[in-house]
């Protein structure tokens, strides 16, 4: 049980924002352990150390809680991407920084990236909208940077941005499943080199007639 949950059991009243964060953290643990369908609001309330009425004061139902949690994870991913883009004015360095943002997100809370990239509730419109925003907001941020710095028109910049986002998140998820043989730094460097230089420029033929 978390420190906030222990404080609640001792009768300490938390500010609304802290209580919400506590409930989301508890929900993350329960969803990660049981999956959405097997998770129960009773169990989430117990994990948070609060009564069910307190939980329902913040979230009317389990789906509302799931969507709020998903939205927080999407916000975190988009924040990481924007910070990577703003971390340097050198575009050659921006590519590995952006790729690294996806690797760090995937390598962080496993439940977070699975909710964003592997949610089994995509049939729910609000869930699909949040999942789509993870890609679209990241693409928008990269598109704006490419348009401003590389002088490409928006359509071309957006296509490149979509490619970078897709390459980064799929590579990061693959690396997580097989990362024992490769460090995070090496995986990011390989992926970024491919994105920056392309297969032909970054990986020329080693043996030619």
Domains for the chain: give ranges and CATH numbers.
14-60 (1.10.10.60), 70-199 (1.10.357.10)
The per-residue pLDDT for 16 is 84
Distance, first Cα to last Cα, the chain: 66
Q: Compute the average pLDDT of residues 150-157.
A: 86
Tell me the two tokens of residue 42: 């009773």
Per-residue pLDDT for 7 more than 50?
no
User: Quick check: 1 and 43 in contact, CB under 8 A?
Assistant: no
Q: Compute the average pLDDT of residues 136-163.
A: 91
pTM for the complete prediction?
0.85
The per-residue pLDDT for 191 is 95
Q: How far apart are CA 8 and CA 188, in angstroms?
A: 42
More confident residue, 187 or 149: 187
Backbone φ/ψ region at 124: left (φ over 0), alpha (ψ -120 to 50), beta: beta
Q: Compute the average pLDDT of residues 20-36.
A: 92
**117, 112, 14, 126: CA torsion to nearest 10:** 10
Instruction: Report the run of H or E that residue 12 belongs to, with start and end.
Output: none
């Amino acid at each position: 049980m978390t420190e906030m949950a222990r404080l609640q059991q001792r009768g300490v009243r938390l500010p609304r924002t802290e209580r919400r964060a506590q409930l989301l953290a508890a929900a993350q643990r329960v969803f990660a352990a049981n999956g959405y369908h097997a998770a129960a609001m009773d169990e989430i309330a117990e994990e948070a150390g609060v009564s069910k009425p307190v939980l329902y004061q913040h979230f009317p139902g389990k789906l509302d809680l799931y969507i709020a949690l998903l939205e927080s994870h999407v916000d975190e991913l988009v924040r990481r991407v924007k910070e990577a883009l703003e971390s340097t004015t050198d575009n050659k360095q921006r590519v590995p920084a952006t790729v690294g943002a996806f690797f760090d997100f995937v390598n962080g809370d496993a439940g977070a990236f699975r909710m964003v990239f592997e949610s089994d509730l995509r049939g729910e419109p609000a869930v699909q909208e949040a999942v789509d925003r993870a890609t679209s907001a990241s693409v928008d941020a990269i598109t704006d940077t490419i348009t401003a710095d590389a002088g490409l028109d928006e359509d071309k910049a957006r296509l490149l941005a979509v490619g970078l986002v897709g390459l980064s998140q799929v590579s990061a998820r693959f690396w997580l499943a097989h990362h024992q043989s490769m460090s995070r730094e090496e995986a990011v460097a390989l992926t970024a080199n491919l994105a920056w230089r392309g297969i032909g420029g970054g990986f020329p033929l080693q043996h030619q007639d």
